[in-house]
Structures are given as C-alpha cells and as structure tokens.
C-alpha cells in the first residue's frame, strides 16, 4: 500500500477546551449529494474518542506550504496539549475546530457513523461547510512512507 499515492490532510476537533489533530492520508469523498466524506483513525488515538456520532470536526486539505505541520501532526507520542501551539490556524465557524492556515481547502463536518475496521475506525461525516482558498497552490502527497510537496 505504500505505493498508493494519497493526498495529505489534517483532521482536527475541539474536545472540551483541547484541540486534537492528526495527519490523515485517508480523507475520501463518499458522496456529493449529500456531501459526505470519510477518514480512518487508529482506534486508540486520542482524536478517535472525540469524533463520536454528532461531533463536529474540520478537515484541512493541505497546500504545499504545510509540510512541517503535516509532519508534526503525524509524529507519534507528541504531547496531547498544545498540539497546534506552533501551527497557524483559525477556528471553523460551524465546528469550532482548527482549520490550518496552510490549507488549500477545508471542510467542516459532523460525524454520522463509525465502523471498526481491524486496528482503525472508519469515521463518516456529513459536510456542513466547505471552501477553497483562492490562489492557494500545491499539495502534499504521501508516497512510499514519506510526505512530499507538489507544485
């Protein structure tokens, strides 16, 4: 599967007074009508318990300038508190979750359902709001165990 190139995004949720975020290479469009996406999260990840059905979260589809943020949020064992302290972001109007300034587009979603799939859980969310950043370019791809930018 390391040979399957995939786009890189960051999924974030505001859980109480704490921001939880993770790098995801599994954000997938499921349906355009109604707009629905899914992502996969390790079942014992901190973020997993915060995205139960009805929870609202944001997905930042990363532009090429966000490689350092993607790398940090993919680091195992990073501190639970202050994950976004050094990453420029703003709060989504609908979800309250962090939307990274390095995003070329973003989605705000509400979890509809979750299913276990081996060591991960599949989280399906209805898109409540979305936008693209005018003039934003590039992307980050995950390929063969590494993240790289493309123009």
Neighbours of 23 (CB within 10 A): 20
Residues 6+ apart with CB under 8 A from 137: 63, 64, 104, 151
Domain-by-domain residue ranges, the chain? 6-134
b/e for 60-98, b at 16 or more Cβ within 10 A?
A: bbbbbbbbebbebbbeeeeeeeebbeebebeebebbebb
Which parts of 60-104 fold into alpha helices (H)?
67-73
Cα distance between residue 125 and residue 123, in whole Å: 6
Q: H or E segment at 13?
A: strand 9-15
CATH class assigned to 6-134: mainly beta
- Is 8 within 8 Å of 24 (Cβ atoms)? yes
Burial class (CB in 10 A: 0-12, 13-18, 19+), 52: exposed
pLDDT tens per residue across all 151 residues of the chain: 999 999 999 999 999 999 999 999 999 999 999 999 999 999 999 999 999 999 999 999 999 999 999 999 999 889 888 999 999 999 999 999 999 999 999 999 999 999 999 999 999 999 999 999 998 889 999 999 999 999 8
- Looking at residue 114, its pLDDT comes to 98
* pTM as predicted: 0.96
- Is 147 within 8 Å of 70 (Cβ atoms)? yes
Instruction: Convert the pLDDT of each residue in 111-151 to its tens digit.
Output: 999 999 999 999 999 999 999 999 888 999 999 999 999 98
């Amino acid at each position: 599967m390391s040979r399957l190139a995939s786009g890189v995004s960051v999924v974030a949720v505001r859980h109480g007074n704490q921001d939880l975020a993770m790098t995801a290479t599994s954000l997938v469009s499921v349906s355009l009508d109604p707009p629905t996406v899914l992502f996969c999260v390790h079942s014992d990840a901190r973020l997993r318990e915060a995205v139960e059905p009805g929870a609202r979260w944001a997905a930042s589809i990363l532009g090429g300038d966000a490689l350092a943020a993607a790398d940090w949020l993919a680091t195992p064992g990073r501190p639970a508190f202050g994950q976004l302290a050094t990453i420029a972001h703003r709060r989504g109007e609908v979800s309250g979750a962090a939307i990274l300034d390095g995003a070329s587009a973003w989605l705000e979603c509400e979890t509809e359902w979750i299913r276990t799939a081996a060591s991960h859980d599949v989280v399906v969310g209805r898109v409540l709001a979305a936008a693209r950043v005018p003039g934003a370019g590039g992307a980050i791809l995950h390929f063969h165990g590494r993240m790289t930018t493309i123009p």
